[in-house]
Amino acid sequence: MEEKQLQEGKRHGRRLVFVLYPFQGHISPMLGLATILHSAGFSITIVHPQFNSPSPINHPPDFTFISIPDPLSQGKVSPGDFAAAMAALNGDSVADHLKLPAINVRTSAAITFIAFASLPHPQHHGYMSLQELFSQDLGPNLQSLKLKELLEPMTSHIHSNALPDLRAKMREATSSSSAIIVNTLEFLEHEVLEIIKGYFSPPIFTIGPFHKLAQTTFSSTSLLKENTDCISWLDKQAPQSVIYVSFGSMASMDGKEVHEIAWGLGSSQQPFLWVVRSGSVRGSDQPNPLLPEGFEEGVGERGCIVEWAPQKEVLGHSSVGGFWSHCGWNSTLESVCERVPMICRPFFGDQGFNARYVCRAWKAGLELEGTLERDKIEKAVRRLMVDEEGVEMRKKTLEFKVKTQLALKEGGSSYNSLEELVEKILSF
Ligand code: UDP
């Protein structure tokens, strides 16, 4: 007991500084992690750009928020250049400048280390090419998959000149950090984590899903206003009957694709909850006028369309039986760890790897590829929601939910990893 009090005493006055990128998919897990470490006794400072700044009222009053000027808020760059400008603001360089130990936080899957960092060749000096990397086998849990199959979505970049530099930078930043934290679960990425440990010396802590460990009364990290009316609509639906459709905070599509989705969902006969984010339809700021004429009247009470949903609550609702997603890593974790199988429609970046995990490695979803057409959509929805195939996937995600609960409990992998992380930070 005394030992425990001593440990907790040591945490007071220890301040952790989080450096945020201004994207929903980064802000939510980073604030989740901050909440977890705050509950573990650390003081928290959040440094964030003015653009897309998080709201302090949703967090404990002793969180310190520091907003820094950024080129987009100052009107100096277009949104397209903004990502590049923000890449310059990275936590490692801030820590370096202040001569503080840096912790590298990965808010995407562990597999992105392999995809985006160059790895040293075991036999000769220099780095492995992606082709060499691809030939590695994965362990029994990923069955017959090779890395190639998981990483194939990035093969189109192999000949890009920019990639080696970027990969080298990422490797450098990761290798020189004092610790690596990944928002993942040991059981989901065990084999990949084993490969990564062979290439990076800093200790790796897997304490995901952050949003589950971070559950407190200050839980909303949404930049957009959540429409909670959809929860009362879900309350009226049959158990596991609703397909939830959302493509995250950044993906966009054209008007024709929106129409195909509308007709596909309409003819599937399943109840649906569809997030049509304002600005997500190219060429319009307004989602509704872009829906086919008469569509909303036609589907009536069977459909619910919102601009932004309380997604975690939606996925935890007993009426939701499937999620058609772009496969951002947060959405993927929120879905499979909450027993909801997926229709995967990746758009860019790591979403392609995540989709392959879900469909090929975990068998917890199906891929919807090629041009979006209403018949294909209707078929995919029915395969997931009604057919035997979907029943099998639901069994798989139920198993994931149980394993996630175990991982978060005392003695579980994420719980233990958090304890070890706290020890590590105290040792700095
Ligand atoms: N999200 C939400 N409401 C919505 C759609 C998304 O709260 O209507 C949240 C979702 O729960 C997730 C985040 O936004 O935590 C999206 O992150 P993800 O990594 O899935 O995708 P990104 O937006 O980065 O592409």
In this predicted model, what pLDDT tens digit does every residue of 84-137 receive, in sequence order?
555 556 666 777 777 889 999 999 999 988 877 777 776 767 777 767 777 777
Ligand 1 centre distance from Cα of residue 330 (Å): 6
- 331 close to ligand 1 (CB < 6 Angstrom): yes
Ligand 1 centre distance from Cα of residue 414 (Å): 22
Q: What is the pLDDT of residue 169?
A: 82
Q: What is the pLDDT of residue 160?
A: 53
Q: What is the pLDDT of residue 97?
A: 77
As a whole-number percent, the residues of the chain with pLDDT over 70 amount to: 86
Nearest ligand 1 atom to the CA of 306 is 8
**Residue nearest atom 18 of ligand 1, based on CA coordinates:** 328
The model's pTM: 0.92
The answer for residues whose C-beta is within 8 angstroms of residue 40's C-beta and 6 or more apart is 11, 418, 422
366, containing H or E segment? strand 365-367
User: Quick check: 159 pLDDT over 60?
Assistant: no
Mutating to test ligand 1, I would choose from 27, 311, 320, 333 the residue with most ligand atoms within 8 A of its C-beta, which is 311
**Residue nearest atom 6 of ligand 1, based on CA coordinates:** 248
Q: What is the pLDDT of residue 37?
A: 96
Ligand 1 centre distance from Cα of residue 329 (Å): 9
Separation in Å, CA 249 to CA 289, 311, 340: 20, 12, 20
Task: With beta carbons less than 8 A apart as the criterion, state whether 366 and 384 touch.
Answer: yes
- 108 close to ligand 1 (CB < 6 Angstrom): no
Q: Residue 375: how many CB atoms within 10 A of its CB? A: 11
pLDDT band at 222 (very low <50, low <70, confident <90, very high): confident
DSSP label at residue 68 = E
User: Quick check: 256 pLDDT over 80?
Assistant: yes
Q: What is the pLDDT of residue 1?
A: 45
Task: With beta carbons less than 8 A apart as the criterion, state whether 303 and 296 touch.
Answer: yes
Q: What is the pLDDT of residue 47?
A: 93
Ligand 1 centre distance from Cα of residue 6 (Å): 39
Separation in Å, CA 115 to CA 163, 196, 324, 350: 10, 11, 25, 9
Higher-confidence position of 181 and 94 = 181
Task: With beta carbons less than 8 A apart as the criterion, state whether 4 and 422 touch.
Answer: no
Question: Strand, coil or helix: what is 154?
Answer: helix
- 338 close to ligand 1 (CB < 6 Angstrom): no
- 330 close to ligand 1 (CB < 6 Angstrom): yes
In this predicted model, what pLDDT tens digit does every residue of 15-55 receive, in sequence order?
999 999 889 999 999 999 999 999 999 999 999 998 888 88
Q: Residue 341: how many CB atoms within 10 A of its CB? A: 30
Query: How high does pLDDT run on average in the chain?
Result: 87
ipTM: 0.99
- 397 close to ligand 1 (CB < 6 Angstrom): no
Q: What is the pLDDT of residue 171?
A: 84
The answer for residues whose C-beta is within 8 angstroms of residue 368's C-beta and 6 or more apart is 324, 343, 344, 345, 376, 377, 380
In this predicted model, what pLDDT tens digit does every residue of 263-293 receive, in sequence order?
999 999 999 999 999 888 887 766 556 889 8
- 222 close to ligand 1 (CB < 6 Angstrom): yes
Nearest ligand 1 atom to the CA of 26 is 24
In this predicted model, what pLDDT tens digit does every residue of 411-422 receive, in sequence order?
999 999 999 999
Higher-confidence position of 284 and 312 = 312
- 335 close to ligand 1 (CB < 6 Angstrom): no
User: Quick check: 232 pLDDT over 50?
Assistant: yes
- 107 close to ligand 1 (CB < 6 Angstrom): no
Quick one: average pLDDT of 292-300? 90
Domains annotated for the chain, with CATH where assigned, are 10-220+409-427 (3.40.50.2000), 229-386 (3.40.50.2000)
Ligand 1 centre distance from Cα of residue 1 (Å): 41
